[in-house]
Structure 1
Amino acid sequence: MRPIEPFLTEFLTGTYKNLTAEQVTRQVYPVWTYSNLVLLVPVLLVTDFLRYKPVIILQGITYVTTMLLILFGSGVHLAQLAFFCYSVAMAADVAYFSYIYTMVQPRYYQRVTSYVKGAILLGYAVGAMLAQLLVSLGGVSLGCLAFITLISVSVALLTSFLLPMPKTSLFYKGTDSAQQGTSGEGTPDSEDFSIWAKSKTAAKHVGGKFRELVLDCKECYSSMAMLFYCIWSATGTCGFYQVSAYIQLFWLHIQPGNFTAYNGGVDAFSTLTGAAASVAVGHMSLEWSVWGELVLGGFTFVVAGAIFLMDLTDNIWISYMCYSLFKTVYLQLSTICT
């Protein structure tokens, strides 16, 4: 629950941080979008190696760091550092799904995916609606929204320590071969030789794990269906992050100087409908192997049409409706892919 997010652009370009729209567009937000793209793969690999819970805790730490930098930092460089931390937190979202998949049987994956996705979106929607109500009806400052967000992510960080640690990993299975390789050996007389032997064993272990990873990737992506869904997920996620990152600047361009427009309400509405659609996916009995690609293809055209219409219009209300349609449909499709 992060109430500041629907008004983040106004917070950065207003009297709080005094950054220009040009600085936010060309120097700050690109750090967010592109560093997230670079971090997704290494964070995924580290997530499974560390067995999920540490990465969930890391996500909480980076969210808290982001809010501290946004609240108390000043200047472009600290804003860039804040959004780099933010991109780490967003990349770590994968830990939630990997974590829950270790706790349930595969036959429940569809159901729990929709629940986890719905819970994340519900929290975001509550934050956005709270922000809109506080700003529009309560006259609360954006600085106060930032403090509420800091408290919220701090509570999330504290509760993440209470999660049970998974006993297994989805991908890294078996015992530590490095330990097996050294457990039965006698102690060499030479300390240097012992260090060399341990280093060689460790190198073999790392090499073996890397070969396992390559073989797993080869086996996984030999399935055309898996390859298709992964390509859609990667490109769709990048597109969604781009639109979400710059939509507030776009609205500021359409309706300059009016930050009490309904950014929070639109975000809340589109996220709630997306959450409902995501939960609904968990209860659908559609034969995805037959209809999945048709559903993805058809609704992707709807998403693309909404983005084009947003670009063509100068009416803020049409832009709001297009964004709501874009976000709702994307969130449902991303849940199907997951």
Structure 2
Amino acid sequence: MKLSTVSLLAALAASLWIPASGAEAPVWPHAKAITWIVGFPPGGTMDTQARMVAQLLSRKTGQPVVVQNKVGASGALALRATASAPADGYTVMTVTGPGIEAQDVPRFGNGLKPVALLSKGPMVLVASMANAPPADLQALLKEMRRRPEAWSYASSGLGTPQHLAGELLNKLAGTAMLHVPYKGGSQAVGDVVGGQVPLGMLGVMPLLPYIRAGKVRVYAVTSAARLPGVLPDVPTMQEAGVPGYDISQWYALAVPEGVPLDCVAQLNRWLNDIMVSEEMKEPLRAIGSLPGAGSPAAVASFVRAEDEKWRAFARRAGIQATN
């Protein structure tokens, strides 16, 4: 073979060879499990919803979606873990709101990027029947004003939606309930049902079995509208005599801030489809929630408005995050 021919073949081979370091990454998602981080213990509304949606997301992606509970500091450990994860689309987490975090805790625009609004729903104010509680909200408020030192309420943690909901009631109703934070709503339920803590401001889902069994009295839902599918006879706070009261908790999916926009857009499309699917209709109704919707930009705008509103309230009410 002539030298010129050998040189030509060598040049052709070199042009076709691509070093491993320069090879294109497999199309996302590919041959790797997605980790879905939840910052609160198993059994609560956030965890239950994440596990339901993870199964359907696994079907969409063709990859396993593994829920991992990273509990501590009212969700701050999970937020930090997600923000520090590789920005490759294989780590996602549920962020709940409205909430108040310390300045060094990652949030949207500060280490995290919003993907989709999963759901939104009210909380409920309840008391254990073991303590012979007042018959309705107005009777309860009267007792709380008469003996403020006797009343406290359990929540899922400092700076959580339940904490804010309790302090909103204090402000609008002129009460002074003491806040008793737990490491998650599912952990608080037992002490509320047993009467160790007089009141609970908690999510609907973990309380439903006790509501149906008559072990707790439900005074009101926190949203501006009732829950016709789950608690049709329970009034809103406004209907029960607290004008201007309206707060709902919401759940959004987040990823590390550097995740590519095309990956975020695809996740958003999948999750919007999942949340309005037939498979999610009854589970959402059962936990007293409505499906979310909207583009990543719309979710970012919603969260920004919520953060501004409730941070201003927290400043006025003297609520400080310690996580």
Name the TM-score, length of structure 2 as normaliser. Answer: 0.23
Name the TM-score, length of structure 1 as normaliser. Answer: 0.23
Structure whose CA Rg is larger: 2
Q: Which one has the bigger helix percentage?
A: 1
